Every structure is written in structure tokens, then in C-alpha cells.
């Protein structure tokens, strides 16, 4: 390019600007870290490592200058699988510290929680203390422990919906077979509370007490319409 054209081009370029609405890199990085890595069970302290590893893979730093750059969908999915396996290794165990049974002393005598009243309705006072423990352990785990994990609230809601659906089915079956409302209601309680809990998504194991606590929490909601007392046909 001759000097005249070069001068003209520089004069034009100086008057041109590109307006973009894309976020700057620090803001984009934070959005990816906070909003895009959700429901994967990655500890908050490991999000940077997870994202940096993924960015490093996308950049392909081992490619030589002039080499063709390509990442297929299969390659990307495989890398995500590797990273999830690596950074989920510290998050697979469900936080159980609040579910450890100690000297339980709250017999519910002064409690007016709806879920406690529904246990009293089946004349089963000996299980109230443990029910209160599981309820409180579950609520504390949701409020405190899950803050350390990127557990999408929708995951817990879906899990809870499955728990309620299973209970509704068992309740209907128990009602059809009911001959003694009190005794058969106690049987339903023991069967429900004692059955193995399915794992919450993102965790390799889930204590029965967490599932039970969620069910007690739903029993606490009048609009949910759940109860232990069976209706004899």
C-alpha cells in the first residue's frame, strides 16, 4: 500500500468505532462462575479451578501457530465429564453433620408445629422427638450447608415433589387397606420414614433423615393437604 492510501486509511479508521454490548471479561467470568455452573455439585471454592480448566481447554494452548483450531461437541462433552468427575470428588458425600443422632430431648410437648400435631393425630408420641430432629436438621442443611454447594433450588424442589408423589401413592394404597385408622396410620408412618431415600441429584448418597425432614416440612404446610391419619373405607 502506497503512503497516500495508507494516510487516507488511517484518517478513516480514526473516525470509526465499534459499539458492542458484550460484557467485559471480568464481568463475563463472574456470570459464568455464578450463574452458568449451577446444579453441578461444585463447591464454591472450586468454581474458579473448574472454570479456568474449561477455559484452558477451549483455548487449546498446546496448538502450534497456524494449526487448525477445532473443538467438536463430543470433545467438549467429554471434557465436561472429566471436569465434573474431578471437581465433584469433594462434593459427592451429602453433608450429614446435622443428622447425627445425639441425646434427643425435645418430645414436642410444647411444639405447635403442624407436622407435630399430625403425628399426635395418630397417637404416636414416641416418634415425635426424632421427627423434630430430622425436620430441624433438614432445614439447617438447606439454609447453611447447601450455601457451600452450587445446588440449584429447582433440584431440591423436584426431589421434594418426588417424595410427596411417592407418599401420596402410598397413602392411597394404605387407605384402601385400612381397618384400624390409628394402628394402620402408624404402620404407614414407619414404612415411609424407614424406607431408603433415593439420592438427591449431585450427591452419591442422601440420608433418610433429609427425605423425612422434607416430608415433615410439607406436612407443615396446610395447603399441601398431607397427613398421616388414614381414612378407613
Asked whether the predicted pLDDT for residue 181 surpasses 90, the reply is yes
Buried b / exposed e across 99-122, counting CB within 10 Å, b at 16+?
beeeeeeeebeebebebbebbeeb
Quote the pLDDT of residue 160: 94
Quote the pLDDT of residue 230: 97
Quote the pLDDT of residue 188: 98
Do residues 138 and 209 make contact, with C-beta atoms less than 8 angstroms apart? yes
Give the pLDDT band (50/70/90) at residue 100. Answer: confident
pTM above 0.85, yes or no: no
What percent of the chain shows pLDDT beyond 70?
A: 76
Buried b / exposed e across 204-219, counting CB within 10 Å, b at 16+?
eebbebbbbbbbbbbb
The domain segmentation of the chain, as residue ranges, is: 25-60+71-91, 99-224
Among candidate residues 167, 177, 187, the one with its CA nearest the CA of residue 124: 187
Residue 162: alpha-carbon gap to chain centroid: 14
**pLDDT tens column, 104-116:** 566 666 788 999 9
Do residues 199 and 144 make contact, with C-beta atoms less than 8 angstroms apart? no
Asked whether the predicted pLDDT for residue 91 surpasses 50, the reply is no
Quote the pLDDT of residue 48: 75
What percent of the chain shows pLDDT beyond 90?
A: 38
Amino acid at each position: 500500500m502506497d503512503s497516500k492510501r495508507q494516510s487516507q486509511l488511517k484518517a478513516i479508521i480514526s473516525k470509526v468505532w465499534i459499539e458492542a454490548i458484550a460484557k467485559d471479561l471480568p464481568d463475563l467470568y463472574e456470570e459464568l462462575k455464578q450463574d452458568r455452573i449451577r446444579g453441578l455439585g461444585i463447591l464454591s471454592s472450586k468454581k474458579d479451578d473448574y472454570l479456568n480448566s474449561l477455559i484452558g481447554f477451549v483455548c487449546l494452548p498446546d496448538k502450534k501457530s497456524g494449526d487448525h483450531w477445532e473443538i467438536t461437541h463430543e470433545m467438549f462433552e467429554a471434557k465436561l465429564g472429566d471436569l465434573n468427575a474431578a471437581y465433584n470428588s469433594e462434593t459427592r458425600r451429602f453433608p450429614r453433620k446435622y443428622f447425627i443422632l445425639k441425646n434427643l430431648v425435645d418430645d414436642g410437648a410444647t411444639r405447635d408445629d403442624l407436622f407435630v400435631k399430625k403425628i399426635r393425630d395418630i397417637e404416636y408420641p414416641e416418634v415425635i422427638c426424632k421427627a423434630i430432629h430430622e425436620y430441624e436438621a433438614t432445614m439447617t442443611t438447606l439454609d447453611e450447608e447447601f450455601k457451600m454447594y452450587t445446588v440449584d433450588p429447582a433440584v431440591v424442589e423436584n426431589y421434594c415433589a418426588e417424595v410427596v408423589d411417592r407418599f401420596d401413592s402410598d397413602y392411597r394404597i394404605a387407605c384402601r387397606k385400612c381397618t384400624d385408622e390409628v394402628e394402620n396410620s402408624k404402620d404407614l408412618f414407619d414404612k415411609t420414614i424407614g424406607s431408603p431415600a433415593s439420592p438427591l441429584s449431585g450427591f452419591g448418597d442422601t440420608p433418610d433423615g433429609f427425605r423425612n425432614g422434607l416430608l415433615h416440612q410439607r406436612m407443615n404446610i396446610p395447603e399441601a393437604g398431607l397427613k398421616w391419619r388414614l381414612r378407613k373405607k
